[in-house]
Amino acid sequence: MLHKGNYIKRLMKKLDVKQETITDKSNPLYVGFGRNTLINLLKNEDFYKEDDLSRARAILDAINATKEDYDFIFPTRSNSNARDLGEYIEDDQTTPIKEISPGFYLLTTELVPVHAQAGYLTGYQDQEYIDMLPKYTTTVDKYARGKYRHFETSGDSMDNGSIKDAIPDGTVLLCREIKREHWTSKLHSHKWPNYVFVHRTEGIVVKQIASQNLETGEIILHSLNPDKNKYPDYSVNMDDILEIYNVIKRILE
C-alpha cells in the first residue's frame, strides 16, 4: 500500500510543485514550516499527530489537491480534527434557528453594527452587553450548529467589483465562530475563504488569509481590493486576536 508521505511526495512531483517552493516564506504557496520539517513529514507512513495532520492539510491546500487526494490522506476526516475549519460543525447549538419549510430555516443572531464595533472589543465576553445588541435574522438552507453572529462591514477593502466575491461597504455578514482550541490548525478553506477577525488593536476586520505560520502564530491578512497601495497585505499574531469567524453568507443591502 502506498504510504501517505510518499503519496504527497508523488502528488507534488505530478503537479510540479517543488519542496523549496512551499517552504519559502516569500512564496504565496508557503505552508508555514521549513524544508526539514517537510522532509521528515514525507517520511511518515501515516499521520497521527495533530501537527502532522495540520501540515499535511496545509500542503494539500497549497497545491490545490483534489477531493480524491484529501480522501486518501484523510479517509475519516469527517470525524477528525483534520477537517477544514471553514467546514467545521460544532456539536453544540447556541444560535436560535427555526425551520419554516423543509430545508429552509430562519437563523437569528446578534448583529454587531459598525457604530458598536469599538464597544464590542471590550464587551464581547459580557453576556449583558451581547444581549443589548440588535438582532438580525437571515435564511439558511442547512440546520446550523455552533455560535453564529452577524457583522456589518465598513469601507471598501474587500470590494474587488466582483458580483460573486465582493464585500462592499455596508454588507451584513453571517459568520460562524471558530473556537480557540482549533486555532492551531491551518485557517485555510476553499469553501469559506473569508474571515472576520476581532483584533485587540485593529478592531473588527474582514480579510482573507495569504499565509499562516503555525510555529510563530503569524498570519498575513489579504484584502480583495486590487489597490495594494491603499490596502497592502499585513501581518497579525494569534496572540492579539480575540475571536475568529468564518464568513458564511453575504447579505447585500
Higher pLDDT, 50 or 220: 220
Share of the chain above pLDDT 90, in %: 49
> pLDDT at position 1, please?
54
Q: Is the pLDDT of residue 253 over 70?
A: no
The grid cell for 6 is 510518499
> pLDDT at position 141, please?
75
> pLDDT at position 143, please?
64
Q: What DSSP character marks residue 117?
A: H
User: Pairing mode, if any, of strands 148-152 and 172-177?
Assistant: antiparallel
Q: Tell me: the pLDDT tens digits for 62-93?
A: 888 888 888 888 874 333 333 344 444 444 54
| Mean pLDDT computed over every residue of the chain | 85
> pLDDT at position 190, please?
65
Q: Tell me: the pLDDT tens digits for 154-209?
A: 999 999 998 888 999 999 999 999 888 888 777 766 678 899 999 999 999 999 99
Q: Is the pLDDT of residue 226 over 90?
A: yes
The grid cell for 245 is 469567524
Domain assignments of the chain as residue spans, ordered by start: 4-83, 97-251
For the domain 97-251, what is the CATH code? 2.10.109.10
C-alpha closest to that of 225 among 245, 207, 202, 237: 207
> pLDDT at position 119, please?
94
Q: Tell me: the pLDDT tens digits for 32-45?
A: 889 999 999 999 88
Higher pLDDT, 120 or 187: 120
Q: Which of 3-12, 18-27, 65-74, 170-179 has the lowest mean pLDDT?
A: 65-74
H-helix or E-strand spanning residue 251:
strand 241-251
Query: Model pTM?
Result: 0.64
Q: Is the pLDDT of residue 151 over 50?
A: yes
For residues 44 and 191, what is the distance between their CA atoms, to the nearest angstrom? 28
For residues 253 and 250, what is the distance between their CA atoms, to the nearest angstrom? 9
Q: Is the pLDDT of residue 2 over 80?
A: no
